[in-house]
Amino acid sequence: MNSVFLSPHFPPNFQNFAHRLRQAGANVLGISDVPYDSLSHELKSNLTEYYKVSDMHDQDQLVRALGYFTHRYGKLHHLDSHNEYWLETEARLRTDFNIPGIQMDRIYNVKKKSEMKRIFQEAKLNPARGKVCGTELEVRNFIKEVGYPVIAKPDNGVGAAATFKLESEDCIQVYLCGKPNTDYILEEFVTGQIVTFDGLVDNNGELIFSSSLRYNKGVMEAVNENSDIYYYTVREIEPFLEKAGKAILKAFDVRSRFFHFEFFLKDNAVVPLEVNMRPPGGLTLDMFNFIFDFDCYDAWAQMQVHGVSNPVKERKYFVMYVGRKNHIHYHLRHHNVVEEHCELIVHHERIDSIFAPAIGNYGYMLRHTELEPLLEAAESIQKRA
């Protein structure tokens, strides 16, 4: 099998994919714009070959890279990055080289929030009302229909960046003058706890595993307020959330991929927010491993290379991520955190700066069979001086 990986070095834990693919017997062909010498020794040892381009946004350079790999190794069977930023790039390359996976005829179903809403409705789910509004009149008409507040976000965007909350008449001009020059979708404001349905599906769209995240606050709130955040996985997923998640998997025909679906939980029901055809961010892949005591990187690689699908269902632990930011003065220093919570902490590391606004500059991963000890530890770790 010939597997092409875009930016295989980033984020650091994604280097595990190259390792597991190589262990499973694949040729792992890396493409990125960083010098080969800057790659870690472990990643170099797991790449069959590396092709450096000067600009990952230059489609012609990427096409030449894949052409070179095709000439040297034959048919390309797989291409991925597991990074939402490159989803459209991946789709173009898969289309050009007839590689299985999401191609250009389906990419905007999973990139544009307006298209997601349409498919949610076709799946008999009830998303928040929303509309792409290009003019001030359209903005005002939508607000007149649903009332304040409304959320404005890029129709084709990543994360919580460049998101606006319009709470009054004064906000409209601020939004119109301050937003980037791209299509924006306005959505009615829905209150409720943000929850997710995450996991991995095999070549037939069947679940290999599933999980669900719960947050102490919204990621957008953590970014806008520059505050810290923690989130955790549950051991039991509510039946109505699981039903909605499986309906979305079917409606979007998700196959051979990690997925990350976001909902608002309200009154024992869920309101679908958006789909992400990639793993959840940060260290969540490693959280999956600690939930099930298995290796999700290897499960993915075995599925890709050999078509092996061994479902895991028992969620043995609650697993929590607790982030801390450099600008906040905490009651406990790092060494005190590690000492006081050594029985709960299974991993900790410095977080790449690109993720820091959302999840912090440093992260601690904890697990226990009960949730309460983790909540108490999170309060202790994030307690401010």
CATH numbers and ranges of domains, the chain = 2-105 (3.40.50.20), 129-188 (3.30.1490.20), 193-382 (3.30.470.20)
The reported pLDDT for the residue numbered 52 is 98
Contact 62, 86 (CB under 8 A): no
The reported pLDDT for the residue numbered 67 is 98
Q: Considering the entire predicted model, what is its pTM?
A: 0.93
The reported pLDDT for the residue numbered 161 is 59
Which regions of the chain are under pLDDT 70?
Answer: 158-161
The reported pLDDT for the residue numbered 223 is 87
The reported pLDDT for the residue numbered 61 is 98
- pLDDT > 70: what percent of the chain? 99
The reported pLDDT for the residue numbered 13 is 94
> Phi and psi at residue 327, in whole multiples of 5°?
-80, -10
The reported pLDDT for the residue numbered 158 is 65
Q: Rounded to an integer, what distance in angstroms lies between the CA atom of residue 377 and that of residue 371?
A: 10
